[in-house]
Structure 1
Amino acid sequence: MPGYDPERLNKFPQLTETQSKQLQEASLRYPLESFLMNYRNVEEIGIDFVYSSAKLEGNTYSKVDTINLLKMGITAGGKLYSDAQMILNLRDAYNFVLTSKDKAIDRYFIMDVHSILAKDLLPAANCGAPREDLVRISGTDYSPPVGRDYLNEELKYLLEVAGTIKNPFERAIYLKLNLCYLQYFQDINKRTARMVQTFSLLGNGEMPLLAGYVKSSGYIEAILEYYNTGSYVPYLSWFVSSYRQMVKSLTDSPTITKSRSVDLRNNNN
């Protein structure tokens, strides 16, 4: 059973020259400002992001169920309360990261994100708090570290290393995979890491990756590969492919430019 290797935190993801060029071209093709000023895209892409993120966790809400819940507040009959709560929490976390551009990525920010995602899904004492117990991860024999003090030390070091990575995409990917690897919280680590990856790119003026999170896309396989071997290669490949596809989809579709504050909660269009 592979155990936690602290040396993983010293290894950076390294995009190939081709991958770096592809991301740069995609980023220039659809800059962050274009996204944030297009309220319809913020809303619709946010719904897709929430839906796919929930689906990864086994949520039973369909896309129509998700739209009805987020736009009209209608829960799906015969579904678990926890499924609706997960979707609402993902929506709230999405809003939070989009409207927190002046915040730094520190332990308290990550704890805040987790608290939003874990609301009414975990006991209140576990929301935003480092875990004390051993956890298992489906699909891998990897055994994460245990102990609040040790987890706090490792998270502090992880964030220090992330701050030294100049390439914004490599920094976001480093945060994403190593927050997953550390398993700082009792549960909801991958969702938290996904939101932190999103916020990291936003904070560096880059359009975040908000698409491609589906079971058949290779995303889960890339995460498991990192748990098992520490290789960034599968996730880098998946990320670049998904990012380019997302930008192509956005730029091939008609856009509506409308400046308005970003908040999915009060819009029923």
Structure 2
Amino acid sequence: MADTDTQLIKGELLARISEKMKQLDSMRPIPADVLGRLHEETRLVHTYHSNAIEGNTLTLQETKLILEEGLTIGGKSLREHIEATNNAKAFDRMEELAKKKCSIDHIIIQEIHEIVTRGILEDAGRYRTRNVRITGAVKSSPDWSKIAKLMDELIEKITENSEHPIETASFLHHRFVEIHPFSDGNGRVARLLTNLYLIARDYPPVVLKKEDRGKYYKCLRAADTGNLGPFANYIAKAVDENLTLYLSISGGNDELLPLKELAMETPYSQEYLSLRARQGLLDAVKIGKTWHSSKHAVGQYLSEHGKKDI
């Protein structure tokens, strides 16, 4: 975390997140059945994307069949099946801990790792006792003998910090994978710990997508050189997108619709709105391969950047 008062995250993005958080707070308490649907959907997509980032070849639909139907997918390895069920169980445990506002400590970190790697690693839930070399890393992982001390320092920093929660969550994520405390499974655990920290502070969970894997690793490499800004903004964008998904449950002007449908009520084409979405000027999320936004977001874009007469 920076020693200055300068925020790492773009002001416009933080302001948008803050506004959405206020809107989400005004919707509480969210009905139990709605919360249940949100949990199941987020659990599924997080499990799929987090595993896919690490090379698991299960599709989203195959992951869904394994988690919801207990099916075995032909042509897929036993390890890939175990990774799916383990990560989903770890997501459930992470949410339980977050709802209790539990502080992240050694016990929680090792418990989550044990769930994620149960039946896969012999040292599941235990810090590594050997040195490792990470392909593509800017610098080598710390010597195994220093892990306990470095993890002590990380836990202390995130416990006593006064930075914005998203900045702290970004720092936690990067520093954890930089320390690389376990022999394997560090990325999956880091993404779960990031969500534990955010949910405990009333943010919705984030999903880091397989399609953005290249950007994810590029931002982590920048953080390796001391520049946490790109990664903090990457995490903030994920928070912003999931807030949009959560707000869409209220329907009305916040309901998510394909840009093709929304474009018909604007002076612009679907292609132009897609461009503005990619540029971050139009508040939108990509679901599958299709950009979605809301009437509220399009109206806001028109008032700030475009023609006001629809």
User: How does the TM-score come out when normalised to structure 2?
Assistant: 0.72
2:238 and 2:51 map into 1 onto residues whose CA distance is 18
1:226 and 2:223 correspond: yes
2:236 and 2:59 map into 1 onto residues whose CA distance is 27
1:185 and 2:182 correspond: yes
Question: 2:200 maps to which residue?
Answer: 203
Question: 1:105 maps to which residue?
Answer: 104
How far off is 1:116 after superposition?
A: 0.6
Deviation per CA, 1:81-103, whole angstroms, max 9, x where unpaired? Answer: 00010111110010001112333
Q: 1:206 to 1:245 in 2, by over 3 A?
A: closer
Q: How much identity, in percent, do the aligned residues show?
A: 21
Letter in 1 for 2:248: D
Q: 1:29 to 1:209 in 2, by over 3 A?
A: farther
Deviates more, 1:167-176 or 1:18-27: 18-27
Question: 1:262 maps to which residue?
Answer: none
1:119 and 2:115 correspond: no
Letter in 2 for 1:128: G
Q: 1:192 to 1:173 in 2, by over 3 A?
A: same
Q: 1:110 to 1:201 in 2, by over 3 A?
A: same
Report 1:1-269 matches (<5 A).
14-31=8-25, 34=30, 38-100=35-97, 101-102=99-100, 103-123=102-122, 126-148=123-145, 150-166=146-162, 167-216=164-213, 218-227=215-224, 229-252=225-248
Q: Is the 8 A contact 1:10 1:161 kept in 2?
A: no
Q: 1:160 to 1:11 in 2, by over 3 A?
A: farther
How far off is 1:212 after superposition?
A: 3.7
Q: Which runs of 5+ in 2 are unaligned?
A: 252-310
How far off is 1:63 after superposition?
A: 1.1
Deviates more, 1:164-173 or 1:188-197: 164-173
1:187 and 1:164 map into 2 onto residues whose CA distance is 28
How far off is 1:10 after superposition?
A: 7.4
- Deviant stretches of 4+, over 6 Å: 8-13
Q: Which has the larger radius of gyration?
A: 2
1:141 and 1:172 map into 2 onto residues whose CA distance is 21
Q: 1:231 to 1:176 in 2, by over 3 A?
A: same
2:158 and 2:179 map into 1 onto residues whose CA distance is 14
Question: 1:267 maps to which residue?
Answer: none
Q: Paired residues, what number?
A: 244
Deviation per CA, 1:89-133, whole angstroms, max 9, x where unpaired? Answer: 11001000111233321111101011111101111xx11111122
Letter in 2 for 1:154: L
Deviation per CA, 1:51-101, whole angstroms, max 9, x where unpaired? Answer: 001110110111111110000000210111000101111100100011123
Q: Is the 8 A contact 1:69 1:75 kept in 2?
A: yes
Q: Is the 8 A contact 1:29 1:247 kept in 2?
A: no
User: How does the TM-score come out when normalised to structure 1?
Assistant: 0.82
1:42 and 1:35 map into 2 onto residues whose CA distance is 12
Q: 1:99 to 1:11 in 2, by over 3 A?
A: farther
Q: Which runs of 5+ in 1 are unaligned?
A: 1-7, 256-269
Q: Is the 8 A contact 1:211 1:246 kept in 2?
A: no
Deviation per CA, 1:120-152, whole angstroms, max 9, x where unpaired? Answer: 1111xx11111122212232242011123x210
- The alignment partner of 2:178 has SS state of helix
2:165 and 2:195 map into 1 onto residues whose CA distance is 11
2:148 and 2:143 map into 1 onto residues whose CA distance is 11
Question: 1:266 maps to which residue?
Answer: none
Q: Is the 8 A contact 1:198 1:208 kept in 2?
A: yes
2:207 and 2:31 map into 1 onto residues whose CA distance is 11
